[in-house]
Amino acid sequence: MRYFFIVLPLILFINRPLSAQSFTLDEILSAPYVNDLTSSPHEDRIAFEVNERGVRNIWTATPSFSRTRKLTNYQEDDGRELSQIHFAPDRKTLYYVRNGGLNQKGEFPNPNSDPDGAYQRIFSVNFENLSDPKFITYGHHPQVSPDGKKLMFNRRGVIHVIELDEKMDKPNILFKVRGSVSKASWSEDSQKVLFQSNRNSHSFVGIYHITEDKIEWISPSVDFDTHPIWSPDNKKVAFIRSPSRKKDELRNIMSNNAFSIWVFDTETKESITAWASPNDLAGGFAQYYPSHPLRWASDKRLVFYSEHSGWMHIYALDWASGKLTDLTPGDCEAEHSALSPDGEFIVYSSNCKDLNSRQLWKIKTDNKKDKQLIAQKGVIQTDPVISSKGNWVLFRKSDAYSPTGIGAVKSTGKSYRQVHPDRLGKKFPKKKDLVQAYNEVIYAADGQKIHVQIFEPKDIKVVDKRPAIIFMHGGPIRQMLPAWHYSAYYANAYAMNQYLCSKGYIVLSVNYRAGIGYGRDFRLAPKQGPRGASEYQDIVAAGKYLASRIDVDPKKIGLWGGSYGGYLTAMGLARNPELFAAGVDIHGVHDWAWRGRDFVPGGAWGITEELMNLAYQSSPVADLSKWRAPVLLIHGDDDRNVMFEQTIDLAQRLREQNVPTELLVLPDEVHGFLRYTSWLQVFQATDDFFERNLK
C-alpha cells in the first residue's frame, strides 16, 4: 500500500502540459478478449469465445493445449454473442448459441439494427472437417443426450428435442408444464430429464420419464426449489430450497436468506434435509452469483457455496451424516471454481492472498490441505476449468498490462503455458505506455473503510495541478481490481481508465460499500441504495481525498460510471457541486421510486410502497436545484437492466434548469453494449467531454 503525504509547502505551483498521449482508444481496446472458457468432459479439449473488436468467434485447443484453432469465421461487429458451448459425446461436434436472450417485451438483442430482425439460434460445428457452422434450430442451452441420439434445448421456457439422425427432423416439444422450465439435464441412461419448474411465487424440481411419458415431482412445497443435480450414480438428486416470499414481500437482490440442501432418493422416493443454514444471512447471493452453487463430489459428498460465516466460502457436506467442512476458511471470498471429473479436488479463484486480487487454489474435497496452484505476481486468475483426465487446469488470466487470455497448468501446479492469445497485436500499447494502478485505503465520514485503486500518469510531478476523475463500477455487486478485469464490461472500463491516465488525468477507481470482495457485511451495508444511499458517502470521501492531494486541481474533479456508477455520478453532480465539476452518466438509475413501480415489482431491490418516499429521497432527482455542472448522459434504448426512460426523464429535468446536458443515445443497444463500435463511440464521447470540461 502507498501513502500520499502532503508536504513541500514552499514549492510554487505552476501549470504544466498534461501527459503526451501515447495510444488511441481503438488501440487499447484492440486486444482479443477471451470468454466462456469450457472444458470437454469427453476428451482433453477446450473451447472458448474470442471477441476481437466486436467480431466474435469460437476457438478450440487440443490435449497439449499448446496450439489453438479457430472453429468459426464470423466477420462482423454485429453484437451477436456466442455462448453456452456444449461438447457432444461423439468427440467431434460442438454446439453453441448465437445471440442473447429476450427482453421483457419478448425481443432478442439487435444492436446493429438488422432490418431482418434478430433471433437466438443454436449451431453446431465439426472439429474434423471444419465446415461452416450448421444452423440447428432456434433456442438456447443445447444438450446432447449421453447416448448421442437426441439434442435437448430450451425455447422460451419449454423443453424441446431433436432426433440426431440423418433426417434431423423439426424439433418436438419434449414435455410441457406450467410456468417456465430451466436447469434441465439428462440422466446417464438418456431416459429421464431433471428440471426446475419456475412458477413466479415458488418453484418445483421434477423428473420427466421419457419412456413412461410422465412427470415426477420431488417433495413439492411452498418454497423455491432450485439448482437440481443428479448424483454420479444417478440414484439421487440434490437441490437447494429457499423460502418463498410473504404477501407484499418483494424480491431484493441486496438481501440474504436462509436455505437448505435436500437429497432425494430416486429408488425409495424419500427426501431428507441434508443440511440447513444456521442463520438467515447464508443464502441468496451465494446461490445466484456462482455459476455452480451446488455440486456432487461423490455419491456421499456434496459441495456448495454459503455466506453463513460472513464470507462466501465453499463447503463440503457428507449428506448422510450432516458433517460440514469449510473448504475455504478465512476472511476472504471464494469465487469461481471447478470440480475435478473424479470429484477428488476443487480448484477455485479467491482473494485470500490479497483482497484486491484473484488467485487460484486447489484443495481436496475431503479437506486435505489446500495450496496455491500457481503463483503469478500481479496476475488475476479466474474461471478455472479442469481437463477430462483431471491433469490440466485451464483458467482465464490478466494483469495490469494485458487483457484476459487463457493459461494452462498441470493440476500439480507445474508446467505452465500460455494458451491464448500468443500475442496482443502490434497496435496494442506497450507495457511502457501503461501504468500499474496501486491500492489505497480511504475512510468515509461514518468511518467505513474503502479500498480504491489509483492510476497516476508516469510523468506526474508533485508540482503539477492536474484534473482528476473518479470511476464507479456498476452492480453494485462488483469489485474493481488493479488489473484488466475478468468481466468484459469492466475490462473495457479498465482500458478507459488507463487511457484517461495516459491523457494526464489522475484516475481513482472506488470500491464503494455494497460491492463484493470484502465480506457479507460490506456487501449488505446498512441504508444503501434506495434505503438511504449510504454508499454515496464513499464517493464523497474519494472526492475529498483527491481534492486534498497536492497534485490535483480541486476544481477539476470529474465522475464517470455505468449503471450503479451512473447513479452515483448523478448523485455527485446533484448533491456536491462544490466537489465535482463534470460527469459522464452511463445508463444510470435516477429515480429509485420509479424503478420500484415500473421496472419490475419492487425494482428487484424490495422497494415497497412504505419505502417509496425514502427511495425517492435517495435518488438524484429528489433535488436537482444545486446541479450546475455539465453532464453527458449515455444510454442504449434496449436496456434490459435500467429503463431508458430514466435517462429521458433526467435529461428533460436538467434542460428545464438550463444545466449543460449532452446526450449520446444508442438505438437498439442493450445495457452491456454488445458492439465494439458502441464502446468506441461511448469512450470517444467521454474523452471529448472531459477534454472540454476538465482541462
- Of the candidates 633, 523, 638, the one whose C-alpha atom is nearest the C-alpha of residue 582 is 633
Q: Is the pLDDT of residue 212 over 70?
A: yes
CA distance 596 to 457: 42
Mean pLDDT of 105-130: 93
Mean pLDDT of 329-343: 96
The topology (CATH level 3) of 431-694 is Rossmann fold (3.40.50)
DSSP H or E segment with residue 223: none
- % of the chain residues with pLDDT over 90: 89
Residue 294: CA atoms inside 13 Å, Cβ hemisphere, count? Answer: 25
CA distance 222 to 201: 8
Q: Is the pLDDT of residue 631 over 70?
A: yes
Residue 416: CA atoms inside 13 Å, Cβ hemisphere, count? Answer: 12
Residue 645: CA atoms inside 13 Å, Cβ hemisphere, count? Answer: 8
pLDDT of residue 67: 84
pLDDT bucket at 18, cuts 50 / 70 / 90: low
Phi, psi of 532 (to 5 degrees): 140, -5
CA distance 239 to 273: 10
Q: Is the pLDDT of residue 345 over 90?
A: yes
Q: Is the pLDDT of residue 11 over 60?
A: no
Sign of the torsion angle spanned by Cα atoms 360, 362, 365, 369: negative
Mean pLDDT of 458-487: 91
Q: Is the pLDDT of residue 9 over 70?
A: no
> What is the location of CATH 2.120.10.30 in the chain?
181-299
pLDDT bucket at 500, cuts 50 / 70 / 90: very high
Bridging pattern class, strands 323-326 and 313-318: antiparallel
Q: Is the pLDDT of residue 331 over 80?
A: yes
Q: Is the pLDDT of residue 284 over 70?
A: yes
Mean pLDDT of 303-324: 96
pLDDT of residue 329: 94
> One-letter amino acid identity for 469?
I
Tell me the residue ranges of DSSP E strands in 219-351: 224-230, 236-242, 260-265, 271-276, 294-296, 301-306, 313-318, 323-326, 334-339, 345-350
| Residue-wise burial string across 429-441, b where 16 or more C-beta atoms lie within 10 A, e elsewhere | beeebbbebebbe
Q: What is the pLDDT of residues 129-178, one digit of tens each?
A: 877 899 999 999 999 999 999 999 999 999 999 999 877 778 999 999 99
What angle, 0 to 180 degrees and rounded to 10, lies between the N-to-C axes of helices 676-694 and 488-502?
30
pLDDT of residue 10: 27
pLDDT bucket at 14, cuts 50 / 70 / 90: very low
pLDDT of residue 5: 30
Mean pLDDT of 509-524: 97
Q: Is the pLDDT of residue 12 over 50?
A: no
pLDDT of residue 165: 83
pLDDT of residue 20: 59
Mean pLDDT of 511-517: 97
CA dihedral 383, 387, 390, 392 (to 10 degrees): -70
More confidently predicted of 105 and 665: 665
Question: Which residues partner with 161 through β-bridges?
Answer: 152, 172
| Second-level CATH architecture of 181-299 | 6 Propeller (2.120)
Mean pLDDT of 362-366: 93
- % of the chain residues with pLDDT over 70: 97
CA distance 560 to 583: 6
pLDDT bucket at 127, cuts 50 / 70 / 90: confident
Contacts of 608 (CB under 8 A, 6+ apart): 248, 250, 596, 602
DSSP H or E segment with residue 614: helix 612-617
pLDDT of residue 425: 80
For the chain, the residue count is 695
> One-letter amino acid identity for 168?
M
Is residue 480 within 8 A of residue 490, CB to CB? The reply is yes
Bridging pattern class, strands 506-511 and 466-472: parallel
Displacement of CA 486 from its chain's centroid (Å): 8
Instruction: Tell me the whole-structure pTM to 2 decimals.
Output: 0.94
Q: Is the pLDDT of residue 414 over 80?
A: yes
First to last CA, the chain: 29
DSSP H or E segment with residue 557: strand 552-562
User: What mean pLDDT value characterizes the chain?
Assistant: 93
> What is the location of CATH 3.40.50.1820 in the chain?
431-694
What angle, 0 to 180 degrees and rounded to 10, lies between the N-to-C axes of helices 564-575 and 536-548?
60
Phi, psi of 475 (to 5 degrees): 115, -90
Mean pLDDT of 292-311: 96
Q: What is the pLDDT of residues 287-299, one digit of tens each?
A: 999 999 999 999 8
> Maximum Cα–Cα distance for the chain, whole Å?
88
Q: Which of 11-15, 61-65, 626-630 has the highest mean pLDDT?
A: 626-630
Mean pLDDT of 570-593: 98
Q: Is the pLDDT of residue 63 over 90?
A: no
Phi, psi of 313 (to 5 degrees): -120, 165
DSSP 482: S
Cell numbers found for residue 413: 501446479
